[in-house]
Structure 1
Amino acid sequence: MISKLKHYTLLGISILPFLGHAQEQTKNPQNWYNLDYAEDGVRGISTEKAYDLLKDKKSSLVVVGVLDGGVDYNHEDLKDVMWVNPKEIPDNGKDDDHNGYIDDIHGWNFLGNSTGENVQYDNLEVTRQIRRLEPKYMSVLPSTSLTEAERREFVTYQRMVSDYTTKLDEANFGNLNYGTLKEETDKIVTKLDKDPKDITVSDITAMKPESDREKMAVRMLKRGLDGTNFADFYRDLEEGVKYFNAQTMYHLNKEYDSRSIVGDNYDDASERHYGNPDIKGPDAEHGTHVAGIIGAKRENGLGVNGIANNVRLMGVRLVPDGDERDKDVANGIRYAVDNGAKVINMSFGKGYAYNKQVVDEAIKYAQEKDVLLVHAAGNDSENNDVTQNYPMKYLTDSLGAITGEVDNWITVGATSSGLNDELLASFSNYGYKSVDVFAPGVKINSTMPESNYKEQDGTSMASPVVAGLAALIRSYYPELTAKEVKDIIMKSVTKIDEKVKIKSGGTTKKVYLDEISVSGGIINARAAIEEAERYIGIKK
């Protein structure tokens, strides 16, 4: 799971809510990320300009694996571009193609069981690791005899406990205060006797609070309504309450463990055939949004235009509301590769790994099969060169030492439509060595379940922008390898001669993109097509 949070102040104390970012206030066309800076004045990736170059070329179908929390395959803008397993007969309860997965028509769900029951919530990885290690290390004293391996594990455990305690304190505080604000806001809505969508700033300003709690709520509402409307603020408030409830009840609750629903032997990382074919699951918002960015059907008069115009989207559900599990990630990669995906998008990540080796083996398997993996950098405003974000392009041994780097991997940070120091998305992770490119990730309009549409922010949105471009390149230039497609995307970025703001060591400083990424720029579809043409010319 990739979280994104922003600091607000409630009752004079800084907390971490779910509400949006200052960069969201900029008004842009809903498809701004496909536009061209020179022509349209926003730093999109020039998708439409790329298609101008491709108008006389033919394309071939490319399958993209959407490894996520679920995809609404019946969405009006996605149903025509969903991958369909050609060797499987729908709903006959048989494994017709003998791949080990029964009725996998549009993909597979590794978060369910054969009776159709699905996991919705899970812990953060840090919670699972503490639950595993606590019985062994909770009572360790300075005099306790430990082996060298145990000593290293104990030090890691101590770091986890510190991180967990901080997260739990923040979650409890946020849960209390957001719950209080929601309760008081509901009272205000009742008092105003209006539908939330009709409430204005003037309505709030005209109120005369009758208690200290109501006075606090009015003050927060005035601040929160700066640049937005009440209905949007109220929706964000509801999402904030939901977020903190999930944190305290599931993500950070050591007593909660949903894995029994799946029914697999979780410690057996070689086990691959479990789950069910329900790729939508109980909460498909995130994955559906990601899928639309990659390949929502273009020029059909509905909703949005995806970046790639000749794709089939394969849903692989493995991300719960909580942190994904390494076994599921590895199996998801292998499933997508074995069933024909040439590009895989992974808009998820976490700060700890349980079995990195099994994920590394799957990544290497994808490399051997010439499949490009695209991964979100994370939304914690941190330096990935220093702070770990799993999975990653670096291969490690059992002690965590780096043993190599795969060449079929792109890590993506997020930019906004802002100029100068507002260009970098305020939440985006970065890294001179670990983050490869940047792509639009703020106010990205895309598909949502039940044929809806919505703008969302995150490196989760920037990653499928890159995956969509990779699919576009592989569609029109199928002779290019995954490594060559990565090189083309990296070499064709738009370099920005402006400093951006980043958070570093508790302070804010300004840097150039080439100081916080490998390529030093934002992807550019038109330039990538021109670069691909040069590659083809060289290969011939």
Structure 2
Amino acid sequence: MYPNRFIPFAFLCLAPSLYSQAQEVPAKKQELPQNWHLLSPAKSGFYGVSNNEAYQFLDSLNIKPTKITVAVIDADLNVNHEDLKARVWKNPKPGSKGYPNDLNGWNFLGNKDGRNLLKTGTEAFREYKRLRPRFEKVQASSLKTAAEQQEYAYFLKLRKEVKIGAYIKFGAYLQQISDAFVAVDSFVRASKPANEPRTSDILALKIEDPKLSDAYKIVQGSMLKFKEESLWKEALAATVKESEVANERIKSLDDKAVPRDLIGDTYTLKDKYYGNANLYEAEVYHGTFVAGLIGAVRNNGIGIDGIADSVAIMGVRAVPDGDEYDKDVALAIRYAVDNGAKLINMSFGKYISPNSEWVNDAVKYADKKGVLLFHAAGNEGLNVDSVSIYPSGMESATKRAANLIRVGASDASGTAASISNYGATQVDLFAPGINITSTGLNNGYQTANGTSLSTPIVTGVAALIWSYFPKLSAREVRRIILASVTSLKDNVGPVPGKGKRQVSFGQLSVTGGIVNAYQAVKMAQKSSQSKK
């Protein structure tokens, strides 16, 4: 998942998905021009996409664009944002394809009562919990078939990844701390303090009772995370709550209920008419941010300028706070295709996908319909040539779908961002993804980092090309985008991640370059002329 927080995986049930992918940047630290990602490297020194030059060239051709529909599969879409509402897709026939009142898109994370699934945990945790009843107390020697042994090995891998054993021990540790805080609080309340005590008052206590002294030592050791002027009752409440939450999660391991129960669907592709039409979610703006980069209204004197000026943004909610479900992603792709989207932005992802074939089949379906998909590479600083990433778009063990473009994040200096995933075969190109400003909460604007942001910039360039040169095929648009990059393949810089190894930029992606809108539209014009 990459949405909401624009960051990579977190722990256990709290995890966002692979790409929720972006880290919000405090405004005071932003020194780059707000629109640096649109600028020309040659003219500004910032490795943007030369968007202004692209429009100057298009204006010289004296041609009018046709509107192109772009689907944003994500966590949300604020259809009333001041800088986006004029670009929101309007369904010409709402409800005609089985999704009631789908005026601007569809939400596969809701139920018919209007409630929405928000938090889902990681796929690793969900899979571990699914297999726990079968394998938690099983001895490997008791498994008879190769299939059982293979699934058991998968279970052990999941168990290790989600660190269940360590988490259970951590839960017991939190309970011990909570008990100590409660015991000390009883002592404090028995003394009937004149004023509400603060943590500094607790640290100044003199406790001689040997039965309480051990508990007091635990409290002293746990007080560093609280300010001295904080009220003791607040520190107590926070500590008790932390333990309760941990215990609830531990108990949930054997609870058959799962977050997805809220939706009320059967987890098969045949059951596809579920969800609701609500695209907005308070305090969530990842999808809105993504949509703004693609098509926020240009030159209107407010907010930001999107890459493309003739787009209709279709919202499709399928990405929760946690790893997305394969079923929702597969049906979201099909919904977008069936409702006329020519481009689909997917700023999310994960590393485990139990039903990846559902998604890959949907990608193939999109390919048959002439639809391009754009996928964020992820923010873990990993080589995804050697680590599986999903949606993979793989048609076979070695062949990736011809309609999928995977995007890494670059910075203003033209180097790969340290957070970005990379891969000489699995990442196609890079695009600006550091200190990027776009549409945010309510009618506001945020600045953030991540491949979640690089991807819609490339999607926007594709929309720009296709809207002005609509006779090009999906394959031609993809070829043009990859062939027209600002090539930096011979530049040497650090490999993303925590290492210090230096490599050429050409080793980090298929093209060794950064998307270039100006070069792309020039190449598109030549290709379009050759068709006449």
Question: CA RMSD of the aligned region, Å?
Answer: 3.6
Q: 1:249 to 1:112 in 2, by over 3 A?
A: farther
Show structure 2 runs of 5+ residues with no match: 11-21, 175-198, 201-219, 228-243
**1:275 CA drift (Å):** 0.6
The code of the aligned residue for 2:500 comes to: T
Other-structure match for 1:339: 339
* Number of residue equivalences: 461
Q: List per-residue Cα deviations over 1:83-103 (Å, max 9, x = no partner).
A: 001123xxxxxx3x2x10100
**1:385 CA drift (Å):** 0.8
Identity of aligned residues (%): 41
Kindly indicate whether the alpha-carbon contact (under 8 Å) linking 1:495 and 1:521 is maintained by their aligned counterparts in 2. Answer: yes
Matches within 5 A, 1:227-242: none
CA distance in 1, matches of 2:114, 2:504: 49
The code of the aligned residue for 2:467 comes to: S
Kindly indicate whether the alpha-carbon contact (under 8 Å) linking 2:375 and 2:406 is maintained by their aligned counterparts in 1. Answer: yes
2:479 aligns to what SS in structure 1? helix
Q: List per-residue Cα deviations over 1:374-426 (Å, max 9, x = no partner).
A: 00001111011111111012124xxxxx164211000000011135xxx2111
CA distance in 1, matches of 2:507, 2:169: 33
Q: 1:127 to 1:475 in 2, by over 3 A?
A: same
Q: List per-residue Cα deviations over 1:186-239 (Å, max 9, x = no partner).
A: xxxx99xxxxxxxxxxxxxxxxxxx99898889xxxxxxxxxxxxxxxxxxxxx
| Structure-1-length-normalised TM-score | 0.78
CA distance in 2, matches of 1:251, 1:24: 40
CA distance in 1, matches of 2:324, 2:246: 15
**1:34 CA drift (Å):** 0.4
CA distance in 2, matches of 1:332, 1:273: 11
Matches within 5 A, 1:385-396: 385-396=385-396
1:72 aligns to what SS in structure 2? coil
Other-structure match for 1:309: 309
- Pick aligned residue for 1:151 from 146, 149, 168: 149
Other-structure match for 1:296: 296
Does structure 1 residue 48 correspond to structure 2 residue 43? no
Kindly indicate whether the alpha-carbon contact (under 8 Å) linking 2:433 and 2:450 is maintained by their aligned counterparts in 1. Answer: yes
Other-structure match for 1:529: 521
Kindly indicate whether the alpha-carbon contact (under 8 Å) linking 1:502 and 1:508 is maintained by their aligned counterparts in 2. Answer: yes
Q: 1:340 to 1:171 in 2, by over 3 A?
A: farther
Which is worse superposed, 406-415 or 144-153? 144-153
Kindly indicate whether the alpha-carbon contact (under 8 Å) linking 1:378 and 1:429 is maintained by their aligned counterparts in 2. Answer: yes
Q: 1:50 to 1:248 in 2, by over 3 A?
A: farther
Other-structure match for 1:235: none
Does structure 1 residue 74 correspond to structure 2 residue 80? yes
CA distance in 1, matches of 2:458, 2:225: 43
| Structure-2-length-normalised TM-score | 0.79
Q: 1:4 to 1:249 in 2, by over 3 A?
A: farther
The code of the aligned residue for 2:7 comes to: K
1:508 aligns to what SS in structure 2? coil
Other-structure match for 1:195: none
Does structure 1 residue 512 correspond to structure 2 residue 504? yes
Other-structure match for 1:257: 258
**1:33 CA drift (Å):** 0.4
Kindly indicate whether the alpha-carbon contact (under 8 Å) linking 1:416 and 1:425 is maintained by their aligned counterparts in 2. Answer: yes
Q: 1:24 to 1:482 in 2, by over 3 A?
A: farther
- Pick aligned residue for 2:466 from 474, 486, 493: 474
- Pick aligned residue for 1:4 from 3, 7, 15: 7
**1:20 CA drift (Å):** 6.3
CA distance in 2, matches of 1:59, 1:73: 23
- Pick aligned residue for 1:65 from 71, 75, 78: 71
Does structure 1 residue 37 correspond to structure 2 residue 38? no
Other-structure match for 1:226: none
**1:536 CA drift (Å):** 1.8
Kindly indicate whether the alpha-carbon contact (under 8 Å) linking 1:81 and 1:295 is maintained by their aligned counterparts in 2. Answer: yes
CA distance in 2, matches of 1:103, 1:128: 32
Other-structure match for 1:106: 104
Other-structure match for 1:224: none
Matches within 5 A, 1:312-323: 312-323=312-323
Does structure 1 residue 384 correspond to structure 2 residue 376? no
- Pick aligned residue for 1:500 from 490, 493, 514: 493
The code of the aligned residue for 1:321 comes to: D
Which is worse superposed, 36-45 or 506-515? 506-515
CA distance in 2, matches of 1:214, 1:375: 44
CA distance in 1, matches of 2:382, 2:111: 36
CA distance in 2, matches of 1:369, 1:329: 17
The code of the aligned residue for 1:4 comes to: I
Bigger radius of gyration among the two: 2
The code of the aligned residue for 1:326 comes to: D
CA distance in 2, matches of 1:479, 1:249: 57
CA distance in 1, matches of 2:165, 2:283: 24
**1:511 CA drift (Å):** 1.2
Kindly indicate whether the alpha-carbon contact (under 8 Å) linking 2:419 and 2:496 is maintained by their aligned counterparts in 1. Answer: no
The code of the aligned residue for 1:409 comes to: L
2:139 aligns to what SS in structure 1? coil
Does structure 1 residue 429 correspond to structure 2 residue 421? yes
- Pick aligned residue for 1:137 from 135, 138, 141: 135
Kindly indicate whether the alpha-carbon contact (under 8 Å) linking 2:344 and 2:373 is maintained by their aligned counterparts in 1. Answer: yes
Q: 1:250 to 1:492 in 2, by over 3 A?
A: farther
CA distance in 2, matches of 1:171, 1:328: 34
2:321 aligns to what SS in structure 1? coil
Q: List per-residue Cα deviations over 1:149-190 (Å, max 9, x = no partner).
A: 2222222222211111189759979x99xxxxxxxxxxxxx9
1:303 aligns to what SS in structure 2? coil
Matches within 5 A, 1:395-434: 395-396=395-396, 402=397, 404-418=399-413, 423-434=415-426
The code of the aligned residue for 1:475 comes to: S
